[in-house]
Protein backbone atom coordinates (compact mmCIF):
# COMPACT_ATOMS: atom_id res chain seq x y z
CA UNK A 1 0.00 0.00 0.00
CA UNK A 2 1.13 3.53 -0.72
CA UNK A 3 0.88 6.01 2.08
CA UNK A 4 0.91 9.74 1.84
CA UNK A 5 3.26 11.56 4.17
CA UNK A 6 2.45 14.97 5.58
CA UNK A 7 4.85 17.47 7.05
CA UNK A 8 4.80 21.04 8.24
CA UNK A 9 2.40 20.92 11.15
CA UNK A 10 3.16 22.51 14.45
CA UNK A 11 2.23 25.17 16.94
CA UNK A 12 1.52 28.67 15.74
CA UNK A 13 -0.03 31.76 17.26
CA UNK A 14 -3.34 33.15 16.02
CA UNK A 15 -2.77 35.14 12.86
CA UNK A 16 0.27 33.12 11.98
CA UNK A 17 0.99 30.91 9.01
CA UNK A 18 2.00 27.36 8.28
CA UNK A 19 2.58 25.43 5.11
CA UNK A 20 1.77 21.76 4.97
CA UNK A 21 3.27 19.43 2.42
CA UNK A 22 2.28 15.96 1.36
CA UNK A 23 3.83 13.44 -0.98
CA UNK A 24 3.48 9.71 -1.49
CA UNK A 25 5.92 7.20 -0.17
CA UNK A 26 7.32 4.78 -2.66
CA UNK A 27 6.55 4.55 -6.32
CA UNK A 28 3.22 5.44 -7.85
CA UNK A 29 1.81 5.53 -11.33
CA UNK A 30 -0.18 8.72 -11.09
CA UNK A 31 -2.26 10.94 -8.84
CA UNK A 32 -5.40 12.71 -9.88
CA UNK A 33 -7.23 14.75 -7.26
CA UNK A 34 -5.38 15.56 -4.06
CA UNK A 35 -6.61 17.33 -1.01
CA UNK A 36 -6.62 18.08 2.67
CA UNK A 37 -9.05 17.15 5.40
CA UNK A 38 -8.94 17.94 9.06
CA UNK A 39 -10.39 16.56 12.24
CA UNK A 40 -10.71 18.46 15.48
CA UNK A 41 -11.24 16.68 18.81
CA UNK A 42 -14.78 15.42 19.13
CA UNK A 43 -15.70 16.38 15.58
CA UNK A 44 -16.11 14.63 12.28
CA UNK A 45 -13.41 14.81 9.68
CA UNK A 46 -14.15 17.62 7.28
CA UNK A 47 -12.93 18.65 3.88
CA UNK A 48 -10.56 21.59 3.83
CA UNK A 49 -9.55 21.84 0.19
CA UNK A 50 -9.09 19.77 -2.92
CA UNK A 51 -7.16 20.27 -6.11
CA UNK A 52 -7.36 18.39 -9.36
CA UNK A 53 -4.49 17.47 -11.60
CA UNK A 54 -5.38 20.49 -13.69
CA UNK A 55 -5.30 22.69 -10.57
CA UNK A 56 -9.01 23.30 -10.18
CA UNK A 57 -9.59 23.97 -6.50
CA UNK A 58 -12.35 23.67 -3.97
CA UNK A 59 -12.34 25.09 -0.45
CA UNK A 60 -14.42 24.81 2.64
CA UNK A 61 -16.17 28.08 3.37
CA UNK A 62 -14.39 28.34 6.69
CA UNK A 63 -10.97 28.60 5.06
CA UNK A 64 -11.70 30.55 1.89
CA UNK A 65 -9.47 33.55 1.57
CA UNK A 66 -7.05 32.24 4.16
CA UNK A 67 -5.85 28.87 2.87
CA UNK A 68 -4.40 28.07 -0.52
CA UNK A 69 -3.99 24.58 -1.89
CA UNK A 70 -1.48 23.97 -4.64
CA UNK A 71 0.41 21.10 -6.19
CA UNK A 72 3.60 20.30 -7.97
CA UNK A 73 2.89 17.49 -10.37
CA UNK A 74 6.56 16.95 -11.10
CA UNK A 75 7.09 16.17 -7.41
CA UNK A 76 3.69 14.54 -6.82
CA UNK A 77 3.35 16.91 -3.93
CA UNK A 78 0.41 18.88 -2.63
CA UNK A 79 0.69 21.89 -0.35
CA UNK A 80 -1.61 23.77 1.93
CA UNK A 81 -0.59 27.32 2.69
CA UNK A 82 -2.46 28.41 5.80
CA UNK A 83 -2.52 32.09 6.62
CA UNK A 84 -4.37 34.11 9.24
CA UNK A 85 -4.74 31.02 11.35
CA UNK A 86 -7.42 30.90 14.00
CA UNK A 87 -7.77 28.71 17.08
CA UNK A 88 -10.69 27.04 15.30
CA UNK A 89 -8.22 25.72 12.74
CA UNK A 90 -6.65 23.51 15.38
CA UNK A 91 -6.96 19.94 14.18
CA UNK A 92 -5.13 16.99 12.79
CA UNK A 93 -4.74 17.61 9.08
CA UNK A 94 -4.85 14.65 6.75
CA UNK A 95 -3.64 14.54 3.20
CA UNK A 96 -5.35 12.43 0.59
CA UNK A 97 -4.80 11.61 -3.01
CA UNK A 98 -6.50 9.57 -5.70
CA UNK A 99 -3.47 7.41 -6.32
CA UNK A 100 -3.07 4.88 -9.05
CA UNK A 101 -0.56 2.19 -8.13
CA UNK A 102 -1.48 -0.49 -10.65
CA UNK A 103 -2.37 -0.43 -14.32
CA UNK A 104 -5.02 -3.04 -13.57
CA UNK A 105 -7.22 -1.05 -11.25
CA UNK A 106 -8.52 2.43 -10.86
CA UNK A 107 -7.24 5.12 -8.59
CA UNK A 108 -7.83 4.71 -4.90
CA UNK A 109 -8.11 7.30 -2.21
CA UNK A 110 -4.94 7.19 -0.15
CA UNK A 111 -4.41 8.95 3.15
CA UNK A 112 -1.60 10.34 5.18
CA UNK A 113 -1.02 9.69 8.84
CA UNK A 114 -2.03 13.19 9.82
CA UNK A 115 -0.11 16.15 11.09
CA UNK A 116 -1.11 18.21 14.10
CA UNK A 117 -1.79 21.89 13.67
CA UNK A 118 -2.32 23.82 16.87
CA UNK A 119 -3.22 27.50 16.85
CA UNK A 120 -2.87 28.96 20.30
CA UNK A 121 -1.33 31.89 22.11
Tens digit of pLDDT for each residue in 40-72? 999 999 999 999 999 999 999 999 999 999 999
Convert the pLDDT of each residue in 16-25 to its tens digit: 999 999 999 9
Instruction: Give the per-residue SS3 of 25-91.
Output: CCCCCEEEEEEEEEECCCCCCEEEEEECCCCCEEECCCCCCCEEEEEECCCCEEEEEECCCCHHHCE
Of the chain, the end-to-end C-alpha distance in Å amounts to 39
> Stretch 69-79: mean pLDDT, rounded?
94
CB 115 within 8 A of CB 22: no
How does the average pLDDT of the chain come out, rounded? 95
Confidence of residue 27 (pLDDT cuts 50, 70, 90): confident
Query: CB neighbours of 7 closer than 8 A, spacing ≥ 6?
Result: 20, 21, 22, 115
Structure-model confidence comparison of residues 56 and 102, the more confident one: 56
pLDDT, position 1: 73
* Beta-bridge partners for 57: 51
The proportion of the chain whose per-residue pLDDT surpasses 90, expressed as a percent, equals: 88
Strands 4-7 and 18-24: antiparallel
pLDDT, position 60: 98
Structure-model confidence comparison of residues 102 and 40, the more confident one: 40
Amino acid sequence: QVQLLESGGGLVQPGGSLRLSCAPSGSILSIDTMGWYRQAPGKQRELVATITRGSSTNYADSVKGRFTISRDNAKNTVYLQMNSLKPEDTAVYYCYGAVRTSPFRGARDSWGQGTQVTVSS
